[in-house]
Amino acid sequence: MQINCDDCEMQYTEACQDCVVTHVLRDLGGPLEVDPNQAEALEILADAGLVAPLRLVPRSDGESVAAG
């Protein structure tokens, strides 16, 4: 699974402030590649309250939105 904030409907909303990917991508500066085992681990950590959950909502139009 590739996670890119530019492909998320929730980009630039309050949901970004509470998304685990937002914090990881600040350091990477690009999309995040997560394999199924890593995605499951992130979900378990989020369910336990140890990290923020993934708030990714894929854009329905498939268009990326750049910061204005």
pTM, 2 dp: 0.50
Confidence of residue 63 (pLDDT cuts 50, 70, 90): low
Question: Tell me, what's the pLDDT at 67?
Answer: 43
Q: Where are the domains of the chain?
A: 2-47
Instruction: Say if residue 45's pLDDT is above 70.
Output: yes
| 29 alpha carbon, distance to own chain's centre | 13
Query: Tens digit of pLDDT for each residue in 18-35?
Result: 777 776 766 666 667 778
Residue, of 49 and 53, whose pLDDT is higher: 49
Q: Which of 48, 42, 44, 47 is nearest to 23 (CA)?
A: 42
| One-character DSSP codes across 43-67 | HHHHHTTSSPPP---B-TT------
- The most confident of the ranges 2-11, 38-47, 56-65 is 38-47
